[in-house]
Structure 1
Amino acid sequence: MSEASAPHAADRRELTAAQRNAVAELLRVSPVADELGRRFVRAGHELHLVGGSVRDALLGRLGDDLDFCTDAHPDETLRILKGWAESIWETGREFGTIGAQRDGLQLEITTFRAESYDQVSRNPVVVYGTSLDEDLKRRDFTINAMAVSLPEHRFTDPHGGLDDLSAKVIRTPSTPGESFGDDPLRMLRAARFAAQLRFAVHPDVHTAMTEMAADLDRITAERIRDEFTKLLCGADPITGLRLLVDTGLAERFLPELTGLKLEIDEHAQHKDVYEHTLTVVENAVSYEEEGCDFILRMAALLHDAGKPATKAVGSDGRVSFHHHEVVGARLTKARMKAMRYPKDVTAKVTALVALHLRFYGYGRGEWTDSAVRRYVADAGDLLPRLHKLTRSDCTTRNRRKAAQLAADYDALEERIARIEAEEDLARVRPDLDGNAIMELLGVPPGPVVGRAWKHLKEQRLEHGPLDRDAAEVELLRWARAEGLID
């Protein structure tokens, strides 16, 4: 191990504490884990708690999902589980994995693997291994290459994962080049673990990520999407995002992020858009009430994606980005489609990007009640997220300006609440429904009803609720103007 990653004496004392964490965590799950281990031993096989389960046990955060490896093949594993597990599933069978549930714990038991990778797709090609050491060597990082044998609780750590866990460093069991050559997605996983665990990548790993970034092009969009989503939802997404940009990985699947690093000269006056964006993401995380709100975080990340394409320098040296929210929304939609995000998630993120600048006209005192209604109607169920995104976007260091923006938004939220108390802003609908429109105008279902409905909705947004009589008068006035009735 290099001097940079070798633990100091104080760290070695922490290793004992880490081992104590693991013992405490294992005691919690040992009734099930040890019983399962004894069943495998009686059948003439090995069973080891492995990978992320051991890592998380050492960190004192073992959950209810446990990963095991064994020399037993799937058919043999099924025979051992039947009659003992409360439920069994075989969805991962083609990868040698059998799932089971017992006493509230989700168990995944995978046959030792010595896997290779398809040279085109880089998807794993499963080849069963014959030993624990072989299985651990093929794993992505040393912190995931530790095992606890069951039921005797023997600890196996052939690649120094415990030391790396103490040093909070991400390192590969084999050379980074060999590991990433097997599966380039591991480069993105390194950034993901940095974000999730607040760990640093080893310098050799960083170098390999930079030199091999183009290999990520061989990975399917779906696998990249899943890893990136976990990264953005990490405890420290900023560290992961910086790694993606610094190593060139972002350029391979999210070039809009790298593109935010606009050139700034002594004459062009604008804030660093890249650093501003990272701050907005950090602010958005602070506004989350429970767990990761991926839609909010993704909107924060891409809210200024349209700035590079709309940058213009005026005669006074000031930089403008007119309509960057429109361009940004279009880029966001295209990028998320390319990354294979679900349509509903893409639509929500895109809408937030398109709306994120709307508030900035409010502070000039020009908004009428109808403008507030339209703001709420256009945001729909995204309004709570839009509130958070808009507040997150205030990153000015000018305290007076920041305080004014916060006060303006407080005022807008108070005004929304006031109008909401008077009207049902959550469901802005015309004061007459389709049936009433058809009855009053004497028309069948068709385009005329849709046009009338749209007109009445515009009236509702502009003037607020109308009573039945006033709504009917307005509909008839519109119909006459359209030549639909005499």
Structure 2
Amino acid sequence: MSKVTTPEKLFDVPDPTDPLAAPALMARAEGVVEKHAALLEPLARAFHERGETLYMVGGSVRDAMLGRGVHDLDFTTSARPAVIQEILGEWGEKVWDTGIEFGTVSAIRRGETVEITTFRSDLYDGVTRNPEVTFGDTLEGDLVRRDFACNAMAIELSLDDDLRLSPTFHDPVDGLSDLVAQVLDTPQAPEVSFRDDPLRMLRAARFVSQLGFTVADRVFDAMRDMAGEIERITAERVQAELDKLMCGARPWEGIDLLVATGLADRILPEVPALQLETDEHMQHKDVYRHSLTVLRQATELEEDGPDLELRWAALLHDIGKPATRAPKEGGGVTFHHHEVVGAKLARKRLKALKYPKHVIEDVGQLVFLHMRFHGFGEGQWTDSAVRRYATDAGDLLPRLHKLVRADCTTRNAKKAARLQRTYDELEDRIAEIAAKEDLARVRPDLDGNEIMEILDLKPGPEVGKAWKYLKELRLERGELDHDDAVAELKAWWEKERA
């Protein structure tokens, strides 16, 4: 692909050709300031009395214009950190200065959090993304160093002659035009911006996912040409951006941008590798496109907001296919056991990205289990198979249901309906057996103490083997009464000792 496009808008933004578009968006942002006037007016007066200026800035202004809702209020100011700290100490109910070396002080009042940072004009060494912190003297100098023009607008908390709040809009890099057009472009040349901080390239993909924006042609070209610079960024920072991307409204578009620019080759190489493989059902252009479709469909099945582990499993569920590709007799290809290989690759990649152990294990297990449903013929699920499916998934079962349904992407309407109907029947079977047998707590019919007493054993590996045998028996045949369980255990033990 050459450029990433967005099919529809996520937010109510006026038509770019409408001459009233820009004033309407400015009014939205100023309305947010006015909505918080009772809170912000005393703050603005305090800065005014010190001879300092104060501006709402960045994502707060952008989100206000998009109607996203503004939860935390970000500001920049001419005041130096010590002055900010003094003012917030009087204004706020609680103040913290963990970022004061970077010029940032935060406070909370009446449930609202504000973060105020001194104008910055940092210097970068082109080796790390950590700048030499330098405080600036102008708003324009602060805004031009920001990542994207749509994040470089400001609303001054200015006061009228009666010292009442009278917000004033500032847009020295024309971010408003980009916002109306829903385009991500950099205030400076993108090559300069990304060389200063390569993480901004990942932020571009993240905003594509979160906001539904496209990237300007020159931004796309710079991301492609400078993809190698991302290796200056630590795995922890990459992971943090990927989290935000994956939990955005359109994660498949953010991933697509990473792949198209070559950034994914550096941080998530298993995903672009899928472009080399043709889906064995010939339903999709390639397995990569299929994986993006599964990711999109998985997000549509979510019920309580973004599910990071489900989304990662959806994206990575087929990454074992390149390593397992083999020609099929009569034409086509197969990917036998790609779920086993894929689970290992998913765990390895997420570990390299410094994900928590529980995320690594959950995503790996979902990838491992995603083909289990397809291993059984339609309507041929035995009670034993149903028990194993549910117990192997454990707490992941609700996610596995969504993943398997999302993976049914055939364009054949009759086949798609048949697959969904079959899965409906499986869920009904699970619910039916669970109601009778409490599948969430499937355990052998005899516990370890009973096993040791019946077989006259002391604690050791033999007890574990006996326990495992009884659990397999429980899964295969369902609950046994006590006498039958004892008889089965004794028969098994006789064979073991023979």
2:260 to 246, 249, 252: 246
Distance 1:61 1:314, change over 3 A: closer
1:40 deviates by: 1.9
**C-alpha distance in 2 between matches for 1:277 and 1:257:** 9
Letter in 1 for 2:353: M
Aligned match of 1:94: 101
User: Separation in 1 of the partners of 2:473 and 2:420?
Assistant: 31
Q: 2: distance between equivalents of 1:363 and 1:106? A: 56
The one-letter amino acid of 2:376's match is Y
Corresponding residue to 1:356 among 366, 370, 374: 370
Question: Could you give the per-residue CA deviations for residues 434-465 of structure 1, whole angstroms, max 9, x where no partner exists?
Answer: 33333444434332332222222111111111
Supply the distance in 2 between the matched residues of 1:101 and 1:445 (Cα, whole angstroms). Answer: 57
Q: What are the ranges of 5 or more consecutive residues in structure 1 without an aligned counterpart?
A: 1-6
After TM superposition, the structure 1 stretch with the greater mean CA deviation from structure 2, 311-320 or 443-452, is 443-452
Taking the TM superposition and a 5 Å limit, the aligned residue runs for 1:9-20 are 10-20=17-27
The equivalent of 1:477 in structure 2 is 491
> Could you say if the C-alpha distance between residues 324 and 453 of structure 1 is closer, same or farther in structure 2, counting changes exceeding 3 Å?
same
1:68 aligns with 2:82: no
Deviation, structure 1 residue 46: 2.2
CA contact (8 A) 1:99 1:108 kept: yes
Matched letter for residue 340 of structure 2? V
The correspondence of residues 48-87 of structure 1 with structure 2, limited to 5 A, is 48-87=55-94
**Matched residue, 1:327:** 341
SS in 1 for 2:318: coil
* Aligned CA distance change for structure 1 residues 99 and 438 (closer, same or farther; 3 Å): farther
One-letter amino acid matched to 2:417: A
Range with bigger deviation, 337-346 or 105-114:
105-114
1:61 Cα shift? 2.2
Which stretches of structure 1, 4 residues or longer, exceed 6 Å deviation after superposition?
none
Q: Hey, what does 1:386 align to over in structure 2? A: 400
Q: Distance in 2 between matches of 1:264 and 1:404?
A: 24
SS at match of 2:275: coil
Deviation at 1:339, TM superposition (A): 0.9
Determine which of 113, 138, 159 is the counterpart of 1:131: 138
Counterpart in the other structure of 2:33: 26
CA distance in 1, matches of 2:227, 2:414: 43
- The match for 1:400 is 414
TM-superposed CA distance for 1:76, in Å, is 2.3
Q: Give 1:482 shift.
A: 3.1
Show the counterpart of 2:432: 418
Counterparts of 1:304 and 1:9 in 2: how far apart (Å)? 40
What letter corresponds to residue 287 of structure 1 in structure 2? L
The match for 1:37 is 44
Does the 8 A contact of 2:278 with 2:287 survive in 1? no
SS in 2 for 1:67: strand
In the alignment, what sits opposite 1:121?
A: 128
Alpha-carbon RMSD across the aligned residues, in angstroms, is: 2.1
The alpha carbon displacement at 1:264 in A equals 5.3
- AA aligned to 1:300 is A
SS, match of residue 255 in structure 1: coil
Residue pair 1:284, 1:392 contacting (<8 A) in 2 also: yes
**Does residue 307 of structure 2 align to residue 300 of structure 1?**
no
Aligned 8 A contact 2:26 2:169 in 1? no
In structure 2, the residue matched to 1:103 is: 110
CA contact (8 A) 1:268 1:317 kept: no
Summarize the Cα distance change of 1:197–1:93 in structure 2 as closer, same or farther, 3 Å threshold: same
Distance, in Å, in 1 between the alignment partners of 2:98 and 2:488 is 60
Indicate the SS of the match to 1:76: helix
TM-score normalized with structure 2 length = 0.91
Superposed, which structure 2 residues align to 1:181-220 within 5 Å? 181-220=195-234
Deviation of 1:280 after TM superposition, in Å, equals: 0.6
Residues 306 and 324 in structure 1, CA contact (< 8 A), matched pair in contact too: yes
Q: Secondary structure at the match of 2:114?
A: strand
Q: d(CA) in 2 for partners of 1:102 and 1:151?
A: 20
1:225 aligns with: 239
Paired AA for residue 278 in structure 1? L
CA distance in 2, matches of 1:76, 1:434: 67
Partner secondary structure for residue 482 of structure 1: helix
Deviations 1:91-141 (A, max 9, x none): 323322222111111211112111233533323332222221111111000
Residue 241 of structure 1 and its aligned partner are, at CA, apart by 1.6
Once the two structures are overlaid, the 10-residue window that deviates more, 463-472 or 298-307, is 463-472
Specify the SS of the correspondent of 2:177: helix
Looking at structure 2, the residues matched to 367 and 235 of structure 1 have their Cα atoms a distance apart, in angstroms, of: 36
Q: After superposition, give the CA deviation of every residue in 1:285-333 in whole Å (9 maximum; x if it has no partner).
A: 1101121111111111000101111111234221111111111111111
What is the distance in 2 between the residues matched to 1:264 and 1:462? 38
CA distance in 1 between partners of 2:138 and 2:219 (Å): 26
Conserved? CA contact 2:283–2:410, under 8 Å? no
In the alignment, the residues of structure 2 paired with residue 85 and residue 482 of structure 1 have an alpha-carbon distance, to the nearest angstrom, of 73
Counterparts of 1:62 and 1:341 in 2: how far apart (Å)? Answer: 29
SS where residue 12 of structure 1 aligns?
A: coil
Task: Identify the range of structure 1 (462-471 vs 436-445) with the bigger mean alpha-carbon deviation.
Answer: 436-445
Aligned residue pairs: how many? Answer: 477
Instruction: Measure the CA separation in 1 of the matches of 2:75 and 2:323.
Output: 50
SS at match of 1:10: coil
Instruction: Give, as a single letter, the amino acid of the residue that structure 2 aligns with 1:433.
Output: D
Alignment of structure 1 residues 230-309 onto 2, 5 Å: 230-262=244-276, 271=284, 272-309=286-323
2:482 and 2:226 map into 1 onto residues whose CA distance is 68
SS of 1:69 mapped into structure 2: strand
2:379–2:422 CA contact under 8 A, matched in 1: no
* Whole-angstrom CA distance in 1 between matches of 2:365 and 2:45: 55
Cα 1:367–1:66 change in 2 (3 A) is same
Deviation, structure 1 residue 89: 1.9
User: What SS does structure 2 have at the residue aligned with 1:380?
Assistant: helix
Label 1:460 to 1:125 Cα distance change in 2 as closer, same or farther (>3 A).
farther
| Cα pair distance change 1:469/1:30, threshold 3 Å | farther
Q: How many angstroms apart in 1 are the aligned matches of 2:310 and 2:475?
A: 27
The one-letter amino acid of 1:149's match is: E
Contact 2:378–2:422 (Cα < 8 Å) also in 1:
no
SS in 2 for 1:116: coil
CA contact (8 A) 1:121 1:220 kept: no
Once the 2 structures are TM-superposed, how far is the Cα of residue 174 of structure 1 from its aligned partner?
0.6
2:346 is paired with a residue whose SS is: helix
Q: Could you tell me the percent identity over the aligned residues? A: 56
Is the alpha carbon distance of 1:268 and 1:349 closer, same or farther for their aligned partners in structure 2, counting shifts above 3 Å? Answer: closer
